[in-house]
Chain A
Amino acid sequence: MPSTLVCASDAPAMNTADPLLEVRDLKVHFFTRDGVVRAVDGVDYSVNRAETLGIVGESGSGKTVSSLAMLRLVPPPARTMGGQVLFEGEDLLAHTPKQMAALRGRRIAMIFQNPATSLNPIYSVGAQLSEILMWHEKASRRQAEERVVELLGLVGISDPGARLRQFPHELSGGMKQRVGIARALMCNPSLVLADEPTTALDVTIQAQILELLADLQARFRMSMVLVTHDMGVVARMATRITVMYAGRVCETADAGTIFSAPQHPYTRALLDSMPRIDQSYSGSARKTLPTIAGRPPNLLNPPPGCRFHDRCPEAMPECRKMMPVETTIAPGHSVSCLRRGSTGVAA
């Protein structure tokens, strides 16, 4: 990704918009032999209609698990332990398995990180895509295949009629990811969860795929949750950004604010540790790229109080004792930090 941070939208976030998806106090725990790992521990965020919410965080911050939890697809030994996932007003966590299956792929679809492993190797592209439509909309094979051809064309696959008969191993990585995107769009979902959709791709292909996603999102006025660890990707794609750390949300704001006026010390540290194109890291005037001291906490035994306190340059004694509560500090901008005026609860 280019390192220049050009924000996709500089317009202020519309707080009055009705949210399509609201995640409230979501908790997903892994029950391992060594104990309970609180991978997602009380996470809140919301996605408005036709906007892209970028969820950023390092590996293990719970961003992928929380998006799988929305579809109720967390793999064992993980279990969703509480919270609400309100999608168009319905709590998905209260749905029956049958209701969930009817919703997946039709109203909420997902794009996966690794295109090489997320397509079934023994079915042709046409077979695995048309199957979705045949199942959800009781379409005939011919109708479904027509729609697949149309979508493959839409995601920029040349000669889609011929690709229909091809198998995943006959396609390049970028092509496979385009098929993955087409699969997500089969039933015109109102929400697409994209889990690191470009991480497994070559840099040149990454840019193409992001462009495609942005284009499709605008064209179909879909909402999108873009999970990534790449600040460049969210800068380019997201309307609003949620920063996660160790299973909790640090800060949520519109994209412009996150990059121009980040409040949470972790957001600031994260942005500081990105290489800048206008900064030389070699030669006589070189600077060292700043890093965040320490390591992400072990969620088997998370630190008391604020999860970030032992790495935080601004930590004060209370941070060790009190868990900050997400607090709105400006319209559309919320932060969980005692230093920024969040109230704390004893932890």
Chain B
Amino acid sequence: MTDKNSTAPAIAVEDLWQVFGENAAPALRDARGAGDDKAIAQALKDKTLIPAVRAANFEVKSGELFVIMGLSGSGKSTMIRCISRLIEPTAGAVRIDGEDILQASDKRLIDLRRHKLGMVFQHFGLFPHMTVADNVAFPLKMQGAGKAERRARAMDVLELVGLEGREDTYPRNLSGGQRQRVGIARSLAVNPDIWFLDEPFSALDPLIRRQLQDEFLNIQATLKKSIVFITHDIQEALKLADRIAIMRDGEIVQIGTPEEIVLHPVDDYVAEFSKDVPKGRHACVESILMDGIPDNMPDDPGIKIGMTLDTALTKCMELYEPVPVRDADGKVIGAVHPHELANALQAEET
């Protein structure tokens, strides 16, 4: 995705390290001399320390849905806990709207959490001793909001997640999907700008998961939060993300749009993820435009920018000459060879 957004990034992560073990910070400083990031990580491992997040650098733009994906143990959960400062990173900076929260005082941090940050947890993290409404209103209570105000706001967000009528039940009486709706409602109660979601749908049944993903996209379409979303499911990542960062062994190996990840994996590890992904559904025709536009194109099946490969291919099944690709206004801005379309889809089968 090109840099259309000129505003400052909502979150900027700069050279972030999280090393577990005793005396991690000095060890990391010493290891800096070892050379590049891989050498530093190796030097730390030699000292039996665990570099769980290594030299992470990325930005999340305002209103962007940024997905971090990786297998378990790849450091993605550690990463989101560093960004939200649930654990103290060993080195680096995390800027939220330009402010480095790793330098923030405890008081400032509490303030940020009360007004600006929201988080959803994999196993919901609901307070077992509180009703649904009290759970949702808890962050407001921390802010010092009055009882009536809390209740009103809780009802609003519960309605947003489709749980109206369940406000006075206890979490133990809800199904997994309903519990996560409560978790989502709670994280939205203070109307935060930044929304962290740590594998929010991983503990749910596939059917419920898809339903919640769709609702989540709907909510995001109206609220336009800046989101960091953790998942281990490539389908989920591709479905939701504006951009995806893929992690392996604490390292970000590739950052890109879903299309880039699917069509241009930087290495075998990333390619392995997208192997089973039906590319035609995620990649658009732009990704396989020919160099230049041929002068003479006999057929025009009506291929448009933004059309997925699947759709494009069904339109030119019978054709074997390049066809024009038009933008929204109907202006020809490129061409694509049907042969290439078929090729791009076939590549996945290997």
Decide whether A and B are members of one complex.
no
